[in-house]
């Protein structure tokens, strides 16, 4: 079924049946409450959470209600868990939508913490997002996949890794026929590796990252780096969380492999950080057309040549088709900005790779549902 028909079916159910039924029982719903209901309807978190009814011993709190609460935390952009609990105590509509009738039924902060650790260990929001994308994009042809990364600041110390000592080279020239073995770079190894091997090879610890902004100034942070693939319409398709010190190019091939397994696309759009022959070759091997900004740092005179060429084209009023398509890459930058500003990406208070990824993925889920619904507007 085409994407528009699939989303229209959801929209008709939500607007014509679900909202009137809820407002009859709960009273008028605010815009954020409606957005939260839409996320719950599309994600169906209760189908992926274990139930503990009938298990001997002290009964555990309903994990589906807790998962819905963490989804509400992302939708309402609530920075802290204790603030979420306070909101559930005073917001009757939100509390009942999560699954608790009385304020006293809302679990303690310790219970929320234990449940979140379980969700992080089982990668619950990752699985929810994967199923949502499969349901909406499995048979869809996407025009452009835009790829970029964003800094994720963490409240933990960077891990210090001892660098192995390099073997001292023999003095003088090597003998005839003797070559000193060179260790292959990660980017050179990746095309011949399986996806699990590539993911296992990526660093996941807290580290110090450095990036240049649009004006060329360096900015540094302690934490991680979120790598995101976004389809037309600003819909996140796949993402990876790595150490902040990892170069963007080293996450491109595994990320592209994940995206290719979830949907079909025509063009891969990337900035100059991804300008590498291995990335271009992998994109073409998937049947895509790579449109990657040229990195002028490799050749000193190339930057001036590109500037002169751009000036001549502007005078002639001529634009390359690749340049027009490359402008679509701004969708991933907007997605990164919205994830941080509107869905909790700025407020990372948990520690460790799995928990931070879990926190971010609840926001990615909310962002994905909102962008899917915008396709109908």
Q: How many residues does the chain have?
A: 377
Q: What's the confidence (pLDDT) of residue 19?
A: 87
DSSP class of 214 = T
Q: What's the confidence (pLDDT) of residue 95?
A: 94
Contacts of residue 367, defined as CB under 8 A and 6 or more positions apart, other chains included, come to 234, 236, 335, 338, 339, 342, 343
Contacts of residue 172, defined as CB under 8 A and 6 or more positions apart, other chains included, come to none
Contacts of residue 20, defined as CB under 8 A and 6 or more positions apart, other chains included, come to none
Q: From CA 49, how far away is CA 45, in angstroms rounded?
A: 7
Q: For residue 81, give both structure tokens.
A: 């868990």
Residue 235: C-alpha distances to residues 239, 243, 356 (Å):
11, 24, 21
Q: What's the confidence (pLDDT) of residue 334?
A: 95
Rg (the chain; Cα; Å): 24
* The pairing of beta strand 141-153 with beta strand 235-243: unpaired
pLDDT under 70: residue ranges of the chain: 1-2, 50-61, 162-181, 214, 298-300, 303, 377
Q: What's the confidence (pLDDT) of residue 57?
A: 43
Q: For residue 6, give both structure tokens.
A: 């699939």
> Domain coordinates of the chain in residue numbers?
3-122, 141-158+191-352
């Amino acid at each position: 079924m085409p994407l528009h028909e699939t989303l229209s079916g959801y929209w008709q159910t939500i607007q014509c049946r679900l909202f009137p039924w809820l407002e009859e029982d709960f009273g008028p719903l605010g815009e954020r409450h409606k957005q939260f209901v839409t996320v719950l309807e599309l994600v169906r978190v209760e189908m992926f959470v274990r139930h503990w009814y009938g298990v001997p011993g002290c009964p555990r709190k309903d994990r589906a209600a807790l998962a819905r609460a963490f989804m509400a935390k992302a939708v309402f952009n609530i920075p802290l868990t204790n603030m979420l609990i306070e909101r559930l105590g005073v917001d009757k509509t939100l509390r009942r939508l999560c699954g608790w009738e009385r304020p006293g039924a809302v679990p303690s902060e310790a219970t929320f913490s234990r449940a979140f650790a379980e969700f992080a260990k089982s990668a619950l929001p990752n699985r929810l997002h994967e199923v949502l994308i499969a349901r909406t994009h499995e048979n869809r042809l996407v025009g452009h996949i835009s790829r970029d990364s964003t800094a994720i600041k963490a409240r933990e110390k960077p891990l210090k890794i001892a660098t192995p000592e390099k073997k001292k080279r023999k003095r003088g020239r090597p003998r005839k026929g003797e070559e000193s073995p060179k260790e292959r770079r990660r980017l050179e190894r990746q095309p011949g590796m399986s996806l699990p091997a590539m993911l296992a090879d990526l660093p996941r610890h807290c580290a110090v990252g450095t990036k240049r902004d649009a004006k060329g100034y360096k900015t540094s942070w302690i934490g991680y780096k979120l790598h995101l693939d976004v389809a037309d319409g600003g819909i996140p398709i796949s993402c990876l969380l790595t150490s902040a010190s990892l170069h963007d190019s080293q996450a491109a091939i595994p990320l592209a492999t994940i995206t290719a397994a979830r949907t079909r696309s025509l063009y891969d759009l990337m900035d100059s950080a991804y300008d590498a022959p291995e990335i271009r070759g992998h994109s073409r091997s998937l049947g895509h057309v790579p449109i990657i900004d040229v990195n002028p740092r490799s050749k000193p005179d190339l930057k001036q040549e590109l500037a002169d060429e751009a000036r001549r084209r502007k005078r002639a009023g001529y634009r390359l088709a690749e340049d027009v398509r490359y402008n679509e890459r701004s969708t991933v930058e907007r997605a990164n900005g919205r994830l941080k500003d509107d869905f909790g990406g700025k407020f990372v208070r948990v520690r460790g790779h799995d928990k931070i990824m879990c926190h971010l993925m609840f926001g990615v889920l909310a962002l994905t549902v909102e962008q899917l619904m915008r396709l109908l507007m």
